Amino acid sequence: LAKEYGKLGKALGEGAGGNVKVVTRPRDKQIFAVKEFRQRFAHESAKDYSKKISGEYCIGLTLKHPNIVETIDIVYEKEKIYQIMEYCDYDLFAIVMSGKMSQDEIYCDFKQIMSGIRYMHDLGIAHRDLKLDNCCVTAAGIVKIVDFGSVSVFKYPESEIIHEAQGVVGSDPYLAPEVVHNLRYDPRATDVWSMAIIFCCMFMKKFPWKSPRPNDHSFQLFSDTRPEQLLDQANASATTEKKSRTPGPEKLFCNLPEEVRPLMRSMLLLDPVRRMDIFECFHDPWFESVEFCSIENGQVKRAAGHSHTSVNADEAHIAGLEKK
């Protein structure tokens, strides 16, 4: 690793699957992010461990999209396994917590992440662990999805069969309720729910609830008086009723700009069958109108009307924020 990519530098972040550090390649001084995979668990067979890591690496190699971090190489060294990836200047979590984001920047970042997820779903792959911590941002303002250790392949090429996922995977505040309550679930719908939570977090700088479980008071308020059968009337009620008198879910939506509420309502439907899928989201009138930064022919194409937030190097990544 050191010979080809340089010595491990400062920590960028850490998760259940391993920790990520920065390296600078000696021959051309190019910076990369390196994930050192976790050690094999005592109860885990060597075969299962190898399958998990090679699976994550292969998925990463397969995904080629401007809004997905590029996976470059894998290095086996003694007892350790390292994955080499494209380096991003900032973690989205750090940018959000800076409190400097404009409304148009939030819209842009959201549409960029949604574009990456649409690409994944089109390939038959669901992420299953979408959260601010798993999105990073380049200096040019391009948002990239990272960490494919929890993905679910729900559809294989040349097949029309949808394979359900199982198990509680992801972080509590971002979980869709069916992940907690159902033995099996459609992972496409859970990604859509998590994306709506990401949007709420970017806008409000806090989670709507800690967990989508009945014992969470905030989630209980959201779901108890859920007027899903009154969706058509929700637009009018949200603007005319005072916040204190709005039904449970509208208390959340009242914190969001009026134009985004119809989409958020459809992405946060408790019933995953009725929840909007990623492709339908792109036909929402507000969402269609959002100008977003992109990459075309290798060049960054900036959207008009906004700039992207930058933060100091010691606050750019989650590891730096945790030290503070």
Tokens at 215, concatenated:
């014992």
Structural contact between residues 22 and 87, judged by C-beta atoms closer than 8 angstroms:
yes
Distance CA 218, CA 207 (A): 10
pLDDT over 90 at 245, yes or no: no
Structure tokens at 116: 């990456």
- Cα 48 to its chain centre, rounded Å, is 26
Domains and CATH numbers, the chain: 2-86 (3.30.200.20), 90-301 (1.10.510.10)
pLDDT band at 15 (very low <50, low <70, confident <90, very high): confident
| 242 pLDDT above the threshold of 90 | no
Residue-wise pLDDT for 262-279, tens only, equals: 999 999 999 999 999 999
Share of the chain above pLDDT 70, in %: 92
- Mean of the per-residue pLDDT values for the chain? 92
Which entry of 129, 147, 186, 191 is annotated as an active-site residue? 129
Tens of pLDDT, residue by residue over 33-65, are 999 999 999 999 999 999 999 999 999 999 999
Give the bridge partners for 81, in sequence order: 76
In this predicted model, what pLDDT tens digit does every residue of 300-317 receive, in sequence order? Answer: 999 999 999 999 988 888
Please report which confidence band the pLDDT of residue 319 belongs to, taking 50, 70 and 90 as the band edges: confident
Strands 31-37, 18-24: pairing is antiparallel
What confidence tens digit (pLDDT) does each residue in 162-210 have? 999 999 999 999 999 999 999 999 999 999 999 999 999 999 999 999 9
Contact predicate 127/145, CB 8 Å: yes
Name the β-bridge partners of 125. 153
Strands 71-77 and 165-166: unpaired
The encoded tokens of residue 189 equal 């719908």
Are the CB atoms for 114 and 63 separated by under 8 Å?
no
Query: Which residue in 181, 281, 185 sits closest to 223, CA to CA?
Result: 181
The more confidently predicted of residues 101 and 17 is: 101
| AA identity, residue 261 | R
Is 271 a catalytic site residue?
no
CA distance 52 to 133: 21
For residue 258, pLDDT over 60 is answered with yes
Tell me how far apart the alpha carbons of residues 5 and 22 are, in angstroms, rounded to a whole number.
10
- Which pLDDT score, from 0 to 100, does residue 249 have? 87
What is the residue type of 132? L
Instruction: Say which range, 157-161, 191-195, 230-234, 291-295, has the weakest mean pLDDT.
Output: 230-234
Q: Kindly tell me if the per-residue pLDDT of 286 is higher than 80.
A: yes
| Strand stretches in the chain, DSSP E | 11-15, 18-24, 31-37, 71-77, 80-86, 90-91, 125-126, 135-137, 143-145, 152-153, 165-166, 184-185, 294-296, 299-301
- Which whole number is the average pLDDT over 90-94? 96
Strand 135-137 and strand 31-37: pairing?
Answer: unpaired
DSSP for residue 244: G
Pairing of strands 165-166, 152-153: unpaired
**Which pLDDT belongs to residue 240?**
52
Residue 229: per-residue pLDDT: 46
Q: What is the pLDDT of residue 226?
A: 47
- The answer to whether 35 is annotated as binding is yes
| % of the chain beyond a pLDDT of 90 | 85
